[in-house]
Amino acid sequence: MLDVVISNQHPLFPTSPLERVREGMVVIDERGRRLGTVVQMRMGYPQAVTAPADPTDVSPARAVVAPVDTGGTTAFGIATPVGLAPDIPDELRQELLRAGYIEVVGPNVSGLARYIHGDRIAEVTGDTVYLRPAS
């Protein structure tokens, strides 16, 4: 008989590192220092089209496309909308929503630095997220 083992370490199908991140995981920066803990993970929408450079150009082919989380209720109670803080600049907000991100809390992480672009995740092993240097 053939046994199939599926784990977070070796997924059955290829996944991005961001897909394997879960709340509560420890985040380690590119120098091996502990940044903090993941409090939120959001997958990106890479097929989303960016806003037009010319604000008068409103053709539908260039509209920003992203799902809206309106909250609501679930079988487990009330769903609280989560997302990016309102003080994030629009350009950064659009990029994080397009690429995905994790939000980290820790003693030395504050402001915009708490949002880590999904492309910076180098590896997810066990309960640890390892980052690559920012480009």
Q: Where are the chain's structural domains? A: 17-52+80-131
pLDDT in 10s for each residue of the chain, 135 residues:
454 544 555 557 678 899 999 999 999 999 999 999 999 999 988 766 554 444 444 444 443 444 444 444 444 443 334 578 888 898 988 889 888 999 999 998 988 899 999 999 999 999 999 999 987
User: What gap in Å lies between CA 47 and CA 51, rounded to an integer?
Assistant: 13
pTM of the model: 0.66
User: What gap in Å lies between CA 73 and CA 51, rounded to an integer?
Assistant: 31
88-119 per-residue burial string, b: 16 or more CB within 10 A, e: under 16: beeeebbbbbbbbbbbbebeebeeeebbbbbb
Q: What angle do CA 16, 33, 46 make, to 5 degrees?
A: 25
